[in-house]
Amino acid sequence: MEGITGSLEDGMSGTSVSDVQERLSSLEFRVHQQEDELTVMKAALADVLRRLSAVEDSASSRKKLGGKGDLREASSMSCITNGGMPGRKRESVSVTRKETMSSAAKSGPEKKEDPPHHEAPPCVSPHLTQRPPTPQRHPPTSDGSKGQAALKRGPSVKRSTGETPEENRNKLVKAASTSKLLAKMVKTTERYREPVVSQAKVSTREKNSQAEGKNLKVFLRGRPITMFVPSDVDDYREVRTELPSERLKLEWVYGYRGRDCRANVYLLPTGEIVYFIASVVVLFNYEERTQRHYLGHTDCIKCLAVHPDKIRIATGQLAGVDKDGRAIPPHVRVWDSVSLTTLQVIGIGTFERGVGSLAFSKADSGQHLSVIDDCNDHMLTVWDWQKKSKIAEIKTTNEVVLVVEFHPTDPNTIITCGKSHIFFWTWNSSSLARKQGIFGKYEKPKFVQCLAYLSSGDILTGDSGGVLLIWTRASTDTGKGPRAFQISRQVRGHEGSVFCMCEMRNGTFLTGGGKDRKIILWDQELRAERDIEVPDVYGTIRAVSAGKGDEFLVGTSRNFILRGTFNDGFTVEVQGHTDELWGLASHPSRHMFLTCAQDRLVCLWDSVNHSLRWSRSLEEHGHCAEFHPSGAVVTIGTHSGKWYVLDAETTDLVAIHTDGNEQLSVMRFSVDGTLLAVGSHDNFIYLYTVSDNGRKYGRSGKCSGHSSYITHLDWSPDNNFIMSNSGDYEILYWDVSNGCTLIRNRSECKDIDWATYTCVLGYHVFGVWPEGSDGTDINALIRSHNRKVLALADDFCKVHLFSYPCSRAKAPSHKYSAHSSHVTNVSFLYDDSHLISTGGKDTSIMQWRLVEKPGLSLGDGLLSNSAPRRADSVITPSDTVVPELGSLVEANGTQDLSPETPPPNKLEPHIFELTPPHSEGAAPSSDGTVSLKDSLDPSDDTATPSDEGLPPLTPPS
């Protein structure tokens, strides 16, 4: 038995030994392979670092280097990731496995001495040559064959096998760390990559049509978009894009937010009406026809309160999201209406959904501020706003809270009201105690919508049943919390709801009705004296306040602000659209522009007098518009495929046509007005011949070839060609004179000087696209008539101003905030003196004045966290992207600016510090007056830059 056992153990031992040896051999083979990879990686990394160093040292002598590149291997990492050609992947560091292991190990140190011409860059031909790309192949050398054998057969690799397992492990760790470092460099290079200039095959449609021409490729949502470099660009690497010397100054805001707000129109002692729309608070002097703007907010403003001193103002905004998906917190801003200086920013991190209503205290001269959060619990907070400290906080109710007010004589009493309730709060130190209003024998209303205070200290409320109730404090103290208020009198007020009320200077009261649209004047005993009805065209009443003398101001649900008296009726002071805006067109020879919206209104505006020339209602929702070059007629495209022709003077209907049954997105006349192109969501461009000064139209053709809806189009000066963009990022060109045929060789159109430039994709404008864009971030773009600048409307509430042409990635721009919704359209007036922008959901129209600041450039120290001048940066001969150490540019190179508009008759320098209340001698801030310390997002300018003392742009000759 012992012999048998011994033989079995010997057999098992022999089997185990051979198995272990095989495993060791396999592991050794893997280690050798990884050593080969490590050697190649080290060689490549050393080459990358050497070339980076060489590029940095050669900045001053860049031109002497000519077209020979020194950084092709390093740069190829970003190019391949950015869609480089598969046939050239071997030149990427990550593909060096295609080289033989043994030869790579031998040639690693010698690679540093290879002349640059031994390897062609993977994504761009040197000097942008027009030779087609040819795949590189290794010659079948003996080293190569041995290397391939080494990849397959471990024993054929001749190496010293004296390393210990510990040494092998160390080598593996080093290999892993080196590969991580290399991967990090690849990621960094990709982060700052630019569009690739390439001769690569771009699409099936162009497979046989792009044998000639230098082209440039950018990527949107992973899709390559190819654009051809014009012939007059000798070297794309020499192209520069700097900040434009022109700036924008917000001059006028058209519109008012009344449709879903209340109590947001007041008259200030300066004679200005204060109200808001979008993220702008407007101070409008209707006698002098001037506006000033507070631009400190970063999203929709929802409520407004005036301090008892009638100078300081508090405004609250909703929560929002910026372009990077970060939350914009709701907050309250307290600011000075004279200097437009931000005094305090309150509630960041406290409010959840938005500020629903707010009010200053009255008995203690406005020391405190009460705020209702629009969250589910409708939290009530009380603030010592000058100290920026929260004193008390409590949940009110799950029902809607519409109003919060301090008692005018009792500093410790606060009243809130809303859906089916009215609460009386007493706050002491940091606690709040609540007493609920008891309706008793009176019918409990669905909503208590407004309140005011009588001279006796009693409270007057208006509700959804049209009833006025007087609440009187109980004469006896129960000793349990605050003394209760009881209803002492009921007065029938309106048919329908009592939506708002205010006290006049003589102690009388005004109430505004919802359904009956009446404004009723009540004496101090609550006896109705007079009433007047607001015409139905203006909508229902949303706000009412005292004006000058016996005048009063009315805000309506159709976004009108009216000034009226009981004797003379109403005068319209402010008006605007009531639904989403998309259509915008500037008059070809006058300072006027036209807008159309989903409210079915078409409006013609005078940009000089800032007034409405005329408006007309259509049967359909307007989406696009275009003036005939003569200015005699204007065309309006709708959501149903129908389009109208209106007389620009009389608004008479000239013609109606229909193209398809889907939305029309763009209409564009040719330069001489003899042709009209209509782009539709059915993927077609319809062509019409035009005669009789734009009054007669005949269908002449249809451009068919897009695979998605048409978004933008432009004409050539000779009327022979059209350039168009579509929803799937296509750039197509059409030969109109040859029957609307698609031009398949797009390089033939690279030198056309387009009469207008509104297409958002093209060689001259691709630099406007932000990094990481999904292709829908830019809604509209337009080139100025003098061809100096581009204006852009984006999805992030911003208006941008770029230099034209804009043919470098991440081009710098001036960026302006005023809208609180996606900016849908932009248009220059005919003489480039102003830019008009339209908002989507905010229904606002902004008129910006162009001012020129000579000598402005990226090197003037005006950019925050940005790169030096492009002209000073190093451009590699292969035109691939290299991160510039120490000068990495922010995405899109946008500029952070602050507006500077001083108060009337006073011009003082802008300050960048918060101004405390009652400060003496402080220079007023600007129109938008949010200081750098105030800014919630340092990458956004919350206002427009200063332009005081600067002349407007000279109209083109």
pLDDT beyond 60 at 152: no
Residue 95's pLDDT band, with cuts at 50, 70 and 90, is: very low
pLDDT beyond 70 at 564: yes
Would you state the structure tokens that stand for residue 311, as one six-digit string?
A: 């100078």
* Neighbour-count burial for 802-837, b at 16+ CB within 10 Å, e otherwise: bbbbbbbbbbbbbbbbbbbbbbbbbbbbbbbbbbbb
Report, as an integer, the average pLDDT of 843-860: 74
Q: Answer whether 461's CB lies under 8 Å from 500's CB.
A: no
Residue type at 422?
Answer: I
pLDDT beyond 50 at 702: yes
pLDDT beyond 70 at 310: yes
3 state SS for 858-907: HHHCCCCCCCCCHHHCCCCCCCCCCCCCCCCCCHHHEECCCCCCCCCCCC
pLDDT beyond 80 at 43: no
pLDDT beyond 90 at 206: no
Q: Which of 892, 939, 940 is nearest to 771 (CA)?
A: 892
Residue 158's pLDDT band, with cuts at 50, 70 and 90, is: very low
Residue type at 12?
Answer: M
Question: How far, in Å, CA of 576 to CA of 845, rounded?
Answer: 8
Lowest mean pLDDT among 34-48, 421-435, 647-661, 824-838: 34-48
pLDDT higher for 920 or 307?
A: 307
Question: How far, in Å, CA of 491 to CA of 487, rounded?
Answer: 11
Report, as an integer, the average pLDDT of 446-451: 96
Which pLDDT value is given to residue 483?
Answer: 64
Report, as an integer, the average pLDDT of 215-220: 86
Q: Exposure of 466 by Cβ count < 10 A (0-12 exposed, 13-18 middle, 19+ buried)?
A: buried
Lowest mean pLDDT among 93-102, 396-405, 471-480: 93-102
Report, as an integer, the average pLDDT of 870-884: 32
pLDDT beyond 70 at 931: no
Alpha-carbon dihedral sign for residues 607, 611, 617, 620: positive
Residue indicated by tokens 């990481």: 772
pLDDT beyond 60 at 860: no
pLDDT beyond 70 at 705: yes
Percent of the chain with pLDDT over 70: 70
Alpha-carbon dihedral sign for residues 124, 129, 135, 137: negative
pLDDT beyond 70 at 929: no
pLDDT beyond 60 at 649: yes
Q: Answer whether 340's CB lies under 8 Å from 903's CB.
A: yes
Report, as an integer, the average pLDDT of 879-907: 34
pLDDT beyond 70 at 226: yes
Lowest mean pLDDT among 103-112, 174-183, 770-779: 103-112
Strand order, beta sheet including 355-360: 355-360, 368-373, 379-384, 389-395
Alpha-carbon dihedral sign for residues 422, 426, 429, 430: negative
Strand order, beta sheet including 467-473: 448-453, 459-463, 467-473, 485-492
Long-range contacts of 127-133 (CB under 8 A, 24+ apart): 127/67, 127/235, 127/877, 128/197, 128/214, 128/229, 128/235, 128/236, 128/879, 130/199, 130/212, 130/213, 130/214, 131/199, 132/199, 132/211, 133/85, 133/87, 133/88, 133/199, 133/200
pLDDT beyond 80 at 256: yes
Residues 6+ apart with CB under 8 A from 305: 313, 314, 315, 358, 359, 360, 369
- Maximal C-alpha separation, the chain: 129
Question: How far, in Å, CA of 750 to CA of 408, rounded?
Answer: 71
Report, as an integer, the average pLDDT of 96-118: 37
Mean pLDDT for the chain overall: 77
Which pLDDT value is given to residue 62?
Answer: 52
Report, as an integer, the average pLDDT of 278-287: 97
Which pLDDT value is given to residue 556?
Answer: 96
pLDDT higher for 248 or 874?
A: 248
Which pLDDT value is given to residue 170?
Answer: 52
Q: Answer whether 368's CB lies under 8 Å from 391's CB.
A: yes
Report, as an integer, the average pLDDT of 614-620: 95
Question: How far, in Å, CA of 445 to CA of 464, rounded?
Answer: 6
3 state SS for 631-697: CCEEEEEECCCEEEEEECCCCCEEEEEECCCCCEEEEEECCCCCEEEEEECCCEEEEEEEECCCCEE
Question: How far, in Å, CA of 290 to CA of 562, rounded?
Answer: 17
pLDDT beyond 60 at 897: no
Beta-bridge partner residues of 359? 370
pLDDT higher for 405 or 34?
A: 405
Which pLDDT value is given to residue 427?
Answer: 85
Q: Answer whether 500's CB lies under 8 Å from 451's CB.
A: no
pLDDT beyond 70 at 129: no
Percent of the chain with pLDDT over 90: 59
Return the ∠ at Cα 743 (arms to 236 and 706), rounded to 5°: 100
* Neighbour-count burial for 594-621, b at 16+ CB within 10 Å, e otherwise: bbbbbbbbbbbbebeebeebeebebebb
Question: How far, in Å, CA of 691 to CA of 698, rounded?
Answer: 9
Cis peptide before 805 (omega within 30 of 0): yes
Which pLDDT value is given to residue 420?
Answer: 92
Which pLDDT value is given to residue 413?
Answer: 93
Question: How far, in Å, CA of 259 to CA of 272, rounded?
Answer: 22
Q: What's CA 266's distance to the chain center, in Å?
A: 30
Which pLDDT value is given to residue 112?
Answer: 37
Which pLDDT value is given to residue 101?
Answer: 35
pLDDT higher for 339 or 427?
A: 339
pLDDT, tens only, 528-553? 999 999 999 999 999 999 999 999 99
pLDDT beyond 60 at 200: no
Which pLDDT value is given to residue 9?
Answer: 46
Residues 6+ apart with CB under 8 A from 139: none
Alpha-carbon dihedral sign for residues 643, 680, 668, 807: positive
Which pLDDT value is given to residue 57?
Answer: 67
Which pLDDT value is given to residue 478?
Answer: 53
Report, as an integer, the average pLDDT of 900-914: 35
pLDDT beyond 80 at 779: yes
Report, as an integer, the average pLDDT of 458-485: 81
Residue 694's pLDDT band, with cuts at 50, 70 and 90, is: very high
pLDDT higher for 233 or 57?
A: 233
Residue indicated by tokens 């309160």: 305
Report, as an integer, the average pLDDT of 636-644: 96
Report, as an integer, the average pLDDT of 397-426: 94
Q: Exposure of 645 by Cβ count < 10 A (0-12 exposed, 13-18 middle, 19+ buried)?
A: buried
Question: How far, in Å, CA of 348 to CA of 330, rounded?
Answer: 6
Ranked by mean pLDDT, the top range of 137-146, 219-228, 397-406 is: 397-406
Residue 925's pLDDT band, with cuts at 50, 70 and 90, is: very low
Which pLDDT value is given to residue 807?
Answer: 92
Report, as an integer, the average pLDDT of 106-113: 39
pLDDT higher for 636 or 12?
A: 636
pLDDT beyond 70 at 23: yes
Residue 67's pLDDT band, with cuts at 50, 70 and 90, is: very low
Proportion of the chain in helix, strand, coil states, percent, rounded to 5: 15, 35, 50
pLDDT beyond 60 at 514: yes
Q: Answer whether 236's CB lies under 8 Å from 228's CB.
A: no
Half-sphere exposure of 229 (CA within 13 A, CB side): 26
Lowest mean pLDDT among 69-78, 262-271, 296-305, 353-362: 69-78
